[in-house]
């Protein structure tokens, strides 16, 4: 289970975690979005992951793991990005089991540099078991593993729990003590946590509705960071209260997933411009500029992370 060290994304994450520089992870539910994302990262010398989740292949238009990998090779510059396989759940948002082993065998064969196993809908020790299995599959291939502990809601069908009720009752929040045990027993590299963040809805009837402005329980996050001791991940990053985003980055959140804001920019532009893909890509570039310059303040982060990583090597 020892990584060879040839994949520099792990060193980047370690440097980002220590320097409190966030690495955004940008989802690609429509293949033409990728070039706009990659080009904007390069334009601002910002480092981010380009990623796709299983549900984006099944329920949106990412097409396949292979199509995404091929498009990444065509348009992305590895000085500014790395390719990540986002959410592959053990049990999906519809309550159905997923053949995650087959998914990861394909992902590993295609050259993805990191991947995510989501066992959050399983009992705690079953989540540990499958996450450990994925680590044993990925680490010998020099691929980093993200897992999830706690329940980041939003993708499920049916009525959602009112957000105020979810936050006040800490519904699905990651247990700090369990986080420490989970990291120790699995050897996972990054941990996705639930601290008030929620995914944007994906059901066809509601996927374009405004997303709730989520809050983050920073005091709870500090406890998780102390227990886990590894880079932490915030899913559902679109629409989170700005001051909470800033505090989260200072307290262990190293990777923030962004999906809804980019997808909506692309889809709304296509709808308004009669399906013009170039208009959709321009809207994605505008949304990316706002993320890089105004939300995360990571202009120049690619060069800085390379320098920090070089100092650690």
Whole-model pTM? 0.91
pLDDT for position 171: 78
Query: Is 174 a member of any domain?
Result: yes
- Mind listing the pLDDT tens digit for each residue in 195-207? 988 865 544 544 5
- Flag whether pLDDT at 3 surpasses 90: no
pLDDT exceeds 80 at position 2? no
Task: Check which CATH number belongs to the domain holding 198 and give it.
Answer: 3.20.20.70
Q: Is residue 107 part of a domain?
A: yes
Residue 233 in domain: yes
* 211 falls within a domain: yes
Looking only at the bridges linking them, the beta strands covering 114-118 and 144-149 are parallel
pLDDT band at 239 (very low <50, low <70, confident <90, very high): confident
pLDDT score of 23: 98
Helix (H) or strand (E) holding 185: helix 176-186
CA 206 from centroid of its chain's CA atoms: 22
Note the pLDDT of residue 159. Answer: 46
Compute the average pLDDT of residues 217-239: 94
Catalytic residue among 39, 45, 77, 86: 86
Q: Number of folded domains in the chain? A: 1
Q: What is the pLDDT of residue 223?
A: 98
Say how far apart CA 16 and CA 12 lie, in whole Å. 6
Give the whole-angstrom CA distance, residue 270 versus residue 267: 5
Supply the pLDDT for residue 5.
58
Residue 3 lies in a domain: no
Per the prediction, the chain carries an average pLDDT of: 90
What token pair was written down for 31? 């293949």
- Is-catalytic flag, 286? no
pLDDT of residue 205: 45
212: confidence class by pLDDT, cuts 50, 70, 90: low
Q: According to the model, what pLDDT value does residue 206 have?
A: 47
Is the per-residue pLDDT at 311 higher than 90?
no
Angstrom distance (rounded) from CA 126 to CA 64: 28
Residue 168 lies in a domain: yes
Residue 147: which H helix or E strand, with range?
strand 144-149
Q: Does 178 reside within a domain?
A: yes
Please check whether residue 1 lies inside any domain of the structure. no
Q: What's the pLDDT tens digit per position in 137-174? A: 999 999 999 999 997 765 545 446 677 777 777 778 89
> Which domain does 20 fall in, by range?
9-312
pLDDT, mean of residues 77-83 = 97
Q: Given a cut of 50, is residue 109 above it in pLDDT?
A: yes
124, 131 Cβ separation under 8 angstroms: no
pLDDT higher at 162 or 284: 284
What does each C-alpha distance from 300 to 84, 237, 275, 297 come to in angstroms?
A: 21, 21, 34, 9
């Amino acid at each position: 289970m020892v990584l060879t060290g040839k994949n520099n994304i792990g060193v980047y994450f370690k440097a980002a975690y220590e320097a409190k520089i966030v690495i955004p992870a940008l989802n690609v539910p429509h293949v033409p979005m990728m070039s706009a994302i990659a080009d904007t990262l390069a334009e601002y010398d910002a480092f981010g992951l380009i990623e796709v989740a299983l549900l984006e292949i099944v329920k949106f238009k990412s097409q396949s793991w292979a199509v995404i990998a091929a498009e990444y090779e065509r348009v992305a510059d590895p000085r500014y990005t790395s390719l990540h396989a986002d959410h592959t759940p053990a049990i999906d948002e519809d309550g159905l089991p997923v053949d995650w082993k087959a998914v990861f065998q394909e992902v590993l064969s295609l050259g993805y540099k990191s991947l995510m196993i989501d066992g959050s809908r399983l009992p705690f020790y079953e989540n540990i078991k499958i996450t450990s299995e994925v680590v044993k599959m990925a680490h010998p291939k020099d691929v980093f593993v993200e897992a999830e502990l706690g329940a980041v809601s939003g993708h499920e069908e049916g009525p959602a729990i009112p957000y105020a009720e979810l936050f006040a009752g800490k519904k699905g929040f990651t247990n700090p003590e369990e986080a420490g045990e989970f990291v120790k027993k699995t050897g996972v590299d990054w941990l996705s946590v639930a601290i008030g963040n929620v995914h944007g809805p994906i059901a066809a009837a509601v996927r374009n509705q405004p997303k709730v402005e989520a809050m983050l329980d920073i005091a709870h996050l500090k406890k998780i960071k102390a227990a886990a001791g590894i880079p932490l991940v915030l899913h559902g990053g679109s629409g989170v209260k700005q001051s909470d985003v800033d505090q989260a980055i200072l307290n262990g959140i190293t990777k923030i997933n962004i999906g809804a804001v980019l997808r909506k920019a692309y889809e709304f532009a296509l709808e308004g411009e009669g399906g013009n893909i170039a208009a959709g890509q321009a809207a994605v570039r505008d949304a990316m500029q706002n993320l890089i310059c105004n939300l995360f303040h990571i202009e120049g982060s690619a060069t800085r992370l390379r320098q920090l990583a070089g100092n650690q090597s």
